[in-house]
Amino acid sequence: MENNLLLVVNPVAGNGNIKKDIPQIVNNFEKSGYNVQTEYTTIENNAEIIVEAKAKDGEVVVAIGGDGTLNEVVNGIIKSNKNVKIGFIPFGTTNDFAKSLNIPSDRFTLSKKINNAIEKSCDTGVFNGKYFNYVSAFGTFANTSFSTERELKNKFGRLAYLSKGTKDFLEEENVAHLKITTDEETFEDDFEFVSISNSQYIGGFKMFKNDEFCYNDGKFEVILIKKTKNKAELLKTYTGLINHIRDKNVIFFKTSNLKIETNQNMFWSLDGEKEETTGNIEINNINNNIYFLTLENKVGRK
């Protein structure tokens, strides 16, 4: 008996190079016993719209693209209220979430070995009503993910992020006065960086040790960086973070819910895509509500 598989492809991912591989990927899935329906995203008809309209109970939805495409698929699945498993063929610049779950980076591996895949339940975040599967972040380097031009990302990959991030770091100042309330405690200060994540990797860097990160424990990993004296001190703090060293400017904790009170207009990165907010923000964790397919066991599972 054939299983249904909805293949959602971002045709501009990887500078459009993925399109030539789609016939082989589809053929591999069909050889594994799947009836494949292929849909290509457009600006007007993105992955969220496609999945919400076409996902069916019991099938597999496979996303091909970057973290933004995956975010759209997750939003579509949750809004559709369908019971499906998610496959992901990462074709973005950093593919942070895929690395966190050890999802294969090779474009053909999942389609060849899907019948041997392991199902992993994962948490999802809700940011003022919008779902994110791996990170919501504010600050200079957070903004780099959505402010870097697609052409540069496709041409230079992670180097484009590093170049744009360095430029933003030198030329801009992103500081917000925030009151952050969790179920356990409250923080109020001027902050230069805020990250609420369900990913071991952020911006291409491994931000958490294995024993600090868990993708299905019902809690986010949260990093706050308080306003520093100058750029040199901020750079030292950032450099320490990616080497798992947290200085006096860093606050790290885990929590299921946050309320952020502010009167400032802010630009956030939700799974690498731009999200503008005015006023207060509520972020909540939904425990074990989506299911991903991977081919490797991963530390960090409870």
How far is CA 107 from its chain centroid?
19
Average predicted confidence (pLDDT) for the chain? 86
**Domains in the chain, CATH or no CATH each:** 3-123+290-294 (3.40.50.10330), 131-286 (2.60.200.40)
Structure confidence at residue 239 (pLDDT): 86
Is 67 in contact with 12 (CB distance < 8 Å)? no
In the predicted model, what is the mean pLDDT of residues 177-197?
95
Query: Could you tell me the pTM of the whole model?
Result: 0.85
What is the identity of the amino acid at 262? T
The Cα–Cα gap between 21 and 194 comes to: 38
Q: What's the pLDDT score for residue 152?
A: 38
Instruction: Give the mean model confidence (pLDDT) for residues 90-114.
Output: 88
Share of the chain above pLDDT 70, in %: 85
Q: What are 40-64's pLDDT values in tens digits?
A: 999 889 999 999 999 999 999 999 9
> What is residue 198's DSSP assignment?
S
Mean pLDDT across 235-263: 93
Where is pLDDT greater, at 174 or 86? 86
